[in-house]
Amino acid sequence: SSTHATLLPLCHSPPTLPPTDRFQQLRSLAMTTSLTPALFFLLLGTVLAQDAPPYVKHCKGTDPKLMECLIKALHHLRPYLAKGIPEIQMPTVEPFRMEDLSLALTSGPNGYKIVLRDMDIFGASNFTVQKLKLGHNGAPFEAKIKIPRLNLNAKYTSTGVLIILPASGNGTFHANLGDIQANVRGTVSEMTKGGKNYLRVDKLDFDLAIRETRMQVQKIFNNNRILTEATNLFLRENGQEILKIMMPQLKTKLALVFKKVANQLLSNVPIDVFYTED
């Protein structure tokens, strides 16, 4: 009965106590009562769960299906990434803004060149992690990710000659990219802040395969119909070749964007909130 009397205040107090105070209260309770180790860890798990923000799914290192748990935790994040997480100053990734891409599409002194600016990309939160491998002892982690579709909108500027037509002008650019496979590799390190341990992504590399592509321009060359149709014909017939030219810059810039997103999340969630060894 003394144990029950001591437990009653604990059951009502967690919402008003900071996490450290709740843990100290629980520890003191375990030392001064007949609280069993099993019940102690059960209550500790409850305290940790109360501390976890809604966008975090907790995983344990002893879980025989650890990789499955971590993948589910990443999938659990998807709606939060789509909407943004204001409490940690994370903006929405729908869309995410990417820096300029400069592309030389044909060679020669009057080669056809385009610049894409203010690129908004939609669809990144609709990812599926197909495979995950954790890195150990400094080895990189690896992930295989599938994205059904990305839609890209950008401001478009072009110079040079295209199919014997002078094609200098500006307008809007749209691309629909489908059946996207991303192989991601990266390294992480631990840092301590405010007495808590956090992860940080130090390096992130993307390898992309995009099987479907459709590109078009609109409102270009003062709505010159002939030039617009010539440009769209070129984009239709050479979509995969254009994608190959875009790919080095696209991979680098995507890696920078997703590294920033990952670190914004990881710098605000201590490791033991989303992962514990046991």
Our count of domains for the chain comes to 2
Asked if residue 203 belongs to a domain, the reply is yes
Q: What is the mean pLDDT of the chain?
A: 81
Please state whether 270 falls in left (phi above 0), alpha (psi between -120 and 50) or beta: beta
Q: What is the pLDDT of residues 130-164, one digit of tens each?
A: 999 987 766 789 999 999 999 999 999 998 888 77
Q: In Å, what is the CA distance from 69 to each residue of 73, 139, 175, 185?
A: 6, 21, 34, 19
Q: Which amino acid is at 142?
A: E
CATH number at residue 115: 3.15.10.30
Asked if residue 56 belongs to a domain, the reply is no
Q: What is the pLDDT of residues 197-227, one digit of tens each?
A: 999 999 999 899 999 999 999 988 777 888 8
Asked if residue 253 belongs to a domain, the reply is yes
Question: Which residues span the domain enclosing 145?
Answer: 94-266
- Looking at the chain, the whole-number percentage of residues with pLDDT higher than 90 is 45
Q: Look at residue 79 in the predicted model and tell me its pLDDT.
A: 94
Q: Look at residue 40 in the predicted model and tell me its pLDDT.
A: 43
Q: In Å, what is the CA distance from 214 to each residue of 17, 123, 211, 232, 254?
A: 55, 15, 10, 10, 19
Same domain? 104 vs 197? yes
Q: What is the mean pLDDT of residues 237-245?
A: 91
Same domain? 143 vs 28? no
Let me know: does 111 contact 104? Beta carbons within 8 Å: yes
Same domain? 128 vs 221? yes
Same domain? 98 vs 176? yes
SS3 26: helix
| β partners of residue 151 | 122, 176
Same domain? 110 vs 166? yes
Same domain? 100 vs 227? yes
Same domain? 17 vs 126? no
Q: What is the pLDDT of residues 52-69, one digit of tens each?
A: 788 999 998 888 999 999
Asked if residue 156 belongs to a domain, the reply is yes
Q: Is residue 232 scored above 70 in pLDDT? A: yes
Same domain? 27 vs 100? no
Q: Is residue 14 scored above 70 in pLDDT? A: no
Asked if residue 76 belongs to a domain, the reply is no
Q: Look at residue 134 in the predicted model and tell me its pLDDT.
A: 86
Of 108 and 45, the structure prediction assigns the larger pLDDT to: 108
Q: What is the pLDDT of residues 82-122, one digit of tens each?
A: 999 999 888 899 998 888 889 888 887 888 899 999 999 99
What is the number of H-type helices and E-type strands within the chain?
Answer: 8, 11
Same domain? 233 vs 102? yes
Q: Which amino acid is at 238?
A: N
| Distance spanning both ends of the chain, measured CA to CA | 30
**Contacts of 12-19 spanning 24+ positions with Cβ under 8 A:** 14/47, 14/50, 15/50, 19/47, 19/51
Same domain? 134 vs 246? yes
pTM (two decimals): 0.74
Same domain? 47 vs 102? no
Q: What is the mean pLDDT of residues 29-51?
A: 48
Q: What is the mean pLDDT of residues 236-253?
A: 90
Q: What is the mean pLDDT of residues 173-193?
A: 93
Residue finishing a domain among 51, 68, 85: 51
Let me know: does 122 contact 94? Beta carbons within 8 Å: yes
Asked if residue 45 belongs to a domain, the reply is yes
Same domain? 118 vs 235? yes
What are the residues whose beta carbons fall under 8 Å from the beta carbon of 32, sequence distance 6 or more?
A: 6
